[in-house]
Structures are given as structure tokens and as C-alpha cells.
Amino acid sequence: MTALLLGLGLFVVCAVGALVAAAGVVSVALPGRPEPWAVHLLRRAAATAAWAAAAVYSLGFFGVAASEQAFGDGADSIPAPACRDGFDEETRQGLTHHRSSYLPLRFDCVRDDGSVYPSDPDHVWMNWSSASLALSAALLAIGAAYATEYRTRKAAAAS
């Protein structure tokens, strides 16, 4: 329960950070914007993407952590409840153990014949979303650095 509350709290903090950063992106479009506005826009967009990536990843991270915590915690916790709850008897047949990972996010259920099924298909979109947002943040930050360097070189050449 503590991990779930911590995860929800971290998600809220990251989501608020993403909203604040997004407001910064919008503020660059308003009159009285800071100069050079393109660099500020790229930096603020990079911050927005980074906070959004952290928010999405924290949801999945603490989902996996909650599934791990539920395993072995009580009389009816083996095999993992995440592998049993919401699945029909045919899917659960032969369930022996689980495998979890935090990078990439996953909580897989393993049968005795070696076949695997995911306990939560939402981990797929969380992995792709957080990876694409993190990549976008990196590219925007590189773009801001390049724009700053280009502006500095242009000013030096004009002098």
C-alpha cells in the first residue's frame, strides 16, 4: 500500500511539473516573451517532455512494484495475484511463477511449459510513451544547445 501511495504521489508531482513546464511553453508565445524566444521555447518544451516521461514511467514503475509486493504477502498470494486476477482459468492453467522488470516495465506470468503472458498490457504503452517522451526531451535539449551555439557564432561573425 505504501508503494502504491508513493507511486501515486510521484506521478502527481511529475504531472504537475509537466503542466507547469507546458505553461512555460505557452508563455513564450504570448507578448513580452523572453529573447531569444526560440531557445526558451526549446528548453521549456524539453522540460515538459521530460516531466511527462517521468510521470508515465512512475505509473508503470509503481504498478510493477505493487505487483511484486502483493506476491508472497498473505495466504492467497502465490502465484502472484497480478497473474491470476482478471484472467480465465484456461489462461492461468499451468502457472508456475512470474518475472518482473523495471526497465523495460513488465510483469510477466510464466507457465510450466515455458510460455509467457503479460499480467498488464498497459506496460507496453507506458514503455513506448516514456521512451518516446524521453527521446523527445533529449532532442529538444540538443536543439536548444545548438540554437544557442549558432546564435553565439553568428554574433561573433558579425562583430
**If you average pLDDT over every residue of the chain, what do you get?**
83
Domain positions in the chain: 2-158
Give pLDDT, residue 75. 62
At 136, list the grid cell. Answer: 523527445
pLDDT over threshold 70, residue 4: no
Label residue 119 by pLDDT band (50, 70, 90).
confident
Q: Of residues 126 and 71, which shows the higher confidence score?
A: 126
**Does 3 have pLDDT greater than 70?**
no
Is the full-model pTM beyond 0.75?
yes
Higher-pLDDT residue of 120, 128: 128
Query: How much is the average pLDDT of 67-77?
Result: 73
pLDDT score, position 24: 77
Kindly tell me if the per-residue pLDDT of 88 is higher than 90: no
Contact 136, 143 (CB under 8 A): no
How would DSSP label each residue in 87-100? --HHHHTTEEEEEE
Q: What does the angle CA 62 – CA 67 – CA 72 come to, to the nearest 5 degrees? A: 135
Q: Region 115-144: what's the mean pLDDT?
A: 91
For residue 145, which amino acid is it?
A
